[in-house]
């Protein structure tokens, strides 16, 4: 397929944004959590609008054409909620305290940055002696949880790009934005436990590689079956995944990072509006 390379590159970009999150945490003088909150809300608006207006509608059309009747809509609805339940089960399998989608406090991020600037490493060595195993476990569990979540997200980006490159680019950007705080969730405990900024960044990037892995696996599994039925079911399925991710992860995290104003709501609506305008001109 002519869009195959673009689909893989976009999925790789979205996945590696997890590593960019760790760089964002460690290599900036001050972490702008309000920017993160706005970006997450914007991303949620884009993903929810795409899911209901573009992906689900595309699924309904494909499946209606395949089944030539109301059965197509029923199958689309079933596939949508199958996606919701799958990602819900994946989320339930991650212990509450290890879930990387819970926002880190400003103090945690800034404390890690202050420790990396300390010339005398005695504080870090002391921390490693007392809490290294626990903190490293938290970091590794966060990395594993992110890898599990990134797997279906990779399939989302990949399939959407194969069907419509413009849609795939938009989804890739939205997923990349929401991967940034996930990278922070991996990097902070790893840095605390090892004192190594490099190791923290590498773990974050490694967690993001599950995204292109999910895309490749999905392609090799489904490539022989790409027809109206397969595309319709996948579109509805990933629409359900994206809606759940937006409601369960993006919006709550944006609320934790944001202030007392309505910036997150404005960003959410802005994401939907920009996506709507994009679809008008591109579609």
- Residues of the binding site: 150, 153, 178-179, 182, 211
C-alpha 241/C-alpha 231 separation (Å) is 15
Q: Provide the angle, in degrees to the nearest 10, between the axes of the packed helices 122-163 and 197-208.
A: 20
First to last CA, the chain: 20
Q: Where are the beta strands (DSSP E) in 156-252?
A: none
| Neighbouring residues of 136: CB distance < 8 A, sequence distance ≥ 6 | 189, 190, 193, 194
Packing angle between helix 71-92 and helix 122-163, nearest 10 degrees?
170
Annotated binding residues for Fe(2+): 150, 153, 179, 182, 211
Dihedral angle sign, alpha carbons of residues 142, 148, 4, 60: negative
110: helix, strand or coil: helix
20 contact partners, CB below 8 Å, separation of at least 6? 176, 179, 180, 183
- Per-residue DSSP letters for 137-152? HHHHHHHHHHHHHHHH
DSSP string for 8-45: HHHHHHHHHHHHHHHHHHHSSSS--HHHHHHHHHHHHH
Check: CB of residue 148 under 8 Å from CB of residue 94. yes
Binding-site residue numbers for Zn(2+) are 153, 178, 182
């Amino acid at each position: 397929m002519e869009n195959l390379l673009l689909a893989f590159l976009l999925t790789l970009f979205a996945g590696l944004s997890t590593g960019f999150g760790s760089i964002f945490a460690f290599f900036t003088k001050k972490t702008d959590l309000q920017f993160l909150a706005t970006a997450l809300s914007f991303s949620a608006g884009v993903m929810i609008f795409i899911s209901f207006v573009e992906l689900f509608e595309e699924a309904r059309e494909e499946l209606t054409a395949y089944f030539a009747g109301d059965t197509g809509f029923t199958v689309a609805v079933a596939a949508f909620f199958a996606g919701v339940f799958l990602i819900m089960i994946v989320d339930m399998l991650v212990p509450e305290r290890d879930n990387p989608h819970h926002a880190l406090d400003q103090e945690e991020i800034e404390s890690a940055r202050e420790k990396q600037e300390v010339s005398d490493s005695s504080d870090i060595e002391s921390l490693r002696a007392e809490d290294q195993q626990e903190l490293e476990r938290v970091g590794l569990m966060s990395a594993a949880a992110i890898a599990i979540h990134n797997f279906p997200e990779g399939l989302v980006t990949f399939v959407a790009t194969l069907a419509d490159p413009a849609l795939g680019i938009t989804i890739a950007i939205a997923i990349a934005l929401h991967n940034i705080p996930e990278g922070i969730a991996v990097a902070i405990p790893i840095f605390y436990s090892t004192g190594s900024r490099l190791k923290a960044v590498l773990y974050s990037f490694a967690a993001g590689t599950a995204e292109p892995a999910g895309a490749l696996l999905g392609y090799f599994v489904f490539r022989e079956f790409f027809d109206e039925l397969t595309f319709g079911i996948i579109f509805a399925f990933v629409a359900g995944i994206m809606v759940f991710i937006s409601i369960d992860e993006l919006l709550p995290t944006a609320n934790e990072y944001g202030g007392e104003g309505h910036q997150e709501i404005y960003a959410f609506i802005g994401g939907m509006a920009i996506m709507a305008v994009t679809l008008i001109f591109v579609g």
